[in-house]
Structure 1
């Protein structure tokens, strides 16, 4: 029952990331706004989730993960209901900000699994939850068209609102109280600084294309993000009760995993964002298929299916060959899918095959990255470490979307449609990103399966090995 609640919670949050993407033009017309303003329906959710994900995770580590899970689900439910009822763009944007509170469900889910599950089931459970988070981004694009055609876009919010409300009630009664908590007070200043630099950075990345990358606003936000980030690190290092332990973030097992997450988020979200545009391009352009919203979403369906199936099997892969090896293999598989998209995209079946392959690669990567993070930190830091990993993936996605947009639109026809070469160059770039992710994954410290399972439950049989996260395992034991 606990796992069912966690799965529904994470799936709902993930779906809300992408459900509205294909129908922004319809929302724009219905709410009587302009194209620049309607993009805030996406931007507001991204910014809010990026701020709340690590903060909710950290508070959960301190006061109880089950309590904060209910709070996150209530935020998703209330935000969804307000969005469903919105008749103007203002309330819609406010609703999306409230929904962002739900970003905390991912780190909370990982923490609850670590606290409550038998040790042999933890890698598989974490893998499935991580896969659901990735699958949701693709499934949202697939479901949006049929839901809007059968009902209307308001049901893109009514359905998640009802589901998350039920999940919140179930979480209150079903999910056990956290047995592991972090002592100490919650630091306010680090939370404010973290929120400030994330907002500045993601606002610049998300609005750079419309404002202009060399505009004063974008450059000012980037400078502010750098200054605030430096101030945040300095405050965290001097704090007696830091929001995010900088020592933890510098551990080899943590920073390497986070860097892989950044690169994979960069490539995956960029491909999800531009494949529908590619397929919807009229055939008169010399490429594309003139697909409808529903048809373009269905082309992404194979990746969602294979991603979820691989997530179910990830625990077995982790036990057989270890998470580091799985991440390397997954990155190379995903790179091959982007190469197919770059050089073989004249037929629909080629896109179906490429997406199915990408789902296999990304499913392997995300499932194992989450396991590595959960295994790499003490139990009381699971929530905040998982939250930052998810946040870094989101930042990677924002950067990837911005860079992909610049490459795709570098050369356009007189009617404004991008030329085929733009997409080809963009997918080549994403291929390179996955290859670099594989190279970075080689730097992740290698540990035995037995050591991972021991530390996932915090009760090692060989305490002399030390924490996996320390990255200090030497000699033959490091193998």
Structure 2
């Protein structure tokens, strides 16, 4: 094991504070930019197709980086890789803030995406540094913050842009992550457990290949056309590369992602629930602001501003956080399966409410408050199930896979919603019809029902491994 100048003398409370700040800073970036893409497009004087890559580049980079950095943290020390991830977040944010054009902006967003490693590393550090009795609650808080940050990003994007300008949406995360990086270097002690053996770089390349071939056409399908060669051929390539990746991982003595670990009922069932929850979460965050901002003359919507639309999502953010705090206690009392089943049922109900009850403004925050309870409870419980089910040296990569699966689900949800809403948009342009949103939210509700079924496969009591 490599030597490290610091010793394991850090008090767990400051370590937890640094970890939570790191998680929140990254989560904020996941949604902070999406509400102001039209403003950013005008400032950069670029096309609609190119500005969409501001989100796609970040999503793709984070999807590739998250499991890889989780594995690097398990191999070389979670403390070191956490600092490197935070430095990448800060540097990418600064590059994007200073970018004079779309090209450099995209470079900054790719660098920001490297910070996706913060999530799996955070769960691993909590497991390493906190007493056993405090770890589940702390993991629940971290998982809740990871979800809450996305909601907060949408809420504060409008006020920050109005007050400090659109570039403040990059400067604020840059400052937060720079502070977190310095503090993490000083406070977080060396990892007590390390995995051995080299990193499988062939598996890394294959993983990056199939994720790119999958996510890019999904993100651009509404613009390129679902039947176009630019969408179909990469999706076919994604399947081929994914099969090659699985075969490579199964044959490797030191896989990037251990397929035996993935076959554990606690792991695969939890990841399936995570995928299906991601479908609804990302699609709601992306499309609901546009729905409520539409003028009433369109037959739906309330004609609210960007800032007001963000405030309508505030109940989801608040309930998500407090539900995350309570999740560990609920799981101890009722078991993780019961908690996930209940959360999945509430998730499906909340999204169905958006589909059938959206004529009055108060109905939106009520449905979102229920959705927040479901998401906060589920995400925190899933994180604890994964941590309890794998060895300490697998914590980073296992949680990296779960975060990645949620992102993939989000991509599928956004793509499906885009296709449905796009099919109900006038050919010559203009606003989508109400039917498009109603059908889209109903489809998200079906994904919620599927999550309910998947949650029944999670073990009643999470298996525990040696700490």
Deviation at residue 416 of structure 1 after TM alignment = 2.4
For the aligned residue pairs, the C-alpha RMSD in angstroms reads 1.1
CA distance in structure 2 between the aligned counterparts of 1:39 and 1:118, rounded to whole angstroms: 44
Contact 1:324 1:368 in 2 (8 A): no
> Taking structure 1 as reference, are residues 30 and 381 closer, same or farther at Cα in structure 2, changes over 3 Å only?
same
Q: Is 1:247–2:221 an aligned residue pair?
A: no
Deviation at residue 2 of structure 1 after TM alignment = 0.8
1:436 to 427, 432, 450: 450
- 2:6 match: none
SS in 2 for 1:348: coil
For structure 2, which runs of at least 5 residues remain unmatched after alignment? 1-13
1:165 to 165, 175, 178: 178
Q: Is 1:110–2:123 an aligned residue pair?
A: yes
- 1:302 match: 315
- 1:147 match: 160
Q: Is 1:406–2:424 an aligned residue pair?
A: no
Contact 1:10 1:106 in 2 (8 A): yes
For structure 1, which runs of at least 5 residues remain unmatched after alignment? 460-479
Deviation at residue 435 of structure 1 after TM alignment = 1.4
Contact 1:123 1:318 in 2 (8 A): no
Deviation at residue 409 of structure 1 after TM alignment = 2.5
- 1:127 match: 140
SS in 2 for 1:243: coil
Once structures 1 and 2 are overlaid, which stretch shifts more, 390-399 or 426-435?
Answer: 426-435
Q: Please, what TM-score do these two structures have when normalized by structure 1?
A: 0.93
Deviation at residue 447 of structure 1 after TM alignment = 2.0
Contact 2:336 2:458 in 1 (8 A): no
Q: Please, what TM-score do these two structures have when normalized by structure 2?
A: 0.95
Q: Deviations over 1:425-458 (max 9, x none)?
A: 111111121111011110112227xx64xx3xx2
Q: Is 1:380–2:431 an aligned residue pair?
A: no
Once the two structures are superposed, the pairs formed by residues 15-414 of structure 1 within 5 Å of their partners are 15-413=28-426
CA distance in structure 2 between the aligned counterparts of 1:141 and 1:196, rounded to whole angstroms: 31
Deviation at residue 262 of structure 1 after TM alignment = 0.5
Deviation at residue 412 of structure 1 after TM alignment = 2.9
CA distance in structure 2 between the aligned counterparts of 1:186 and 1:436, rounded to whole angstroms: 35
* Runs of 4+ in structure 1 over 4 Å off: none
- 2:10 match: none
CA distance in structure 1 between the aligned counterparts of 2:201 and 2:363, rounded to whole angstroms: 51
Contact 2:120 2:399 in 1 (8 A): yes
Deviation at residue 415 of structure 1 after TM alignment = 5.1
Contact 1:48 1:101 in 2 (8 A): yes
Deviation at residue 22 of structure 1 after TM alignment = 1.0
- 1:463 match: none
Contact 1:191 1:243 in 2 (8 A): yes
CA distance in structure 2 between the aligned counterparts of 1:200 and 1:14, rounded to whole angstroms: 24
Q: Is 1:445–2:424 an aligned residue pair?
A: no
> Taking structure 1 as reference, are residues 235 and 415 closer, same or farther at Cα in structure 2, changes over 3 Å only?
closer
Q: Deviations over 1:375-433 (max 9, x none)?
A: 11111101001001000000000000010111122223565211111111111111121
Q: Deviations over 1:93-123 (max 9, x none)?
A: 0000000110000000010111111111111
Contact 1:332 1:434 in 2 (8 A): yes
Contact 2:320 2:375 in 1 (8 A): yes
Deviation at residue 76 of structure 1 after TM alignment = 0.2
CA distance in structure 2 between the aligned counterparts of 1:314 and 1:444, rounded to whole angstroms: 16
Contact 2:70 2:397 in 1 (8 A): yes
Deviation at residue 206 of structure 1 after TM alignment = 0.5
Contact 2:336 2:459 in 1 (8 A): no
- 2:3 match: none
SS in 2 for 1:417: coil
Contact 1:45 1:96 in 2 (8 A): yes
1:420 to 428, 434, 437: 434
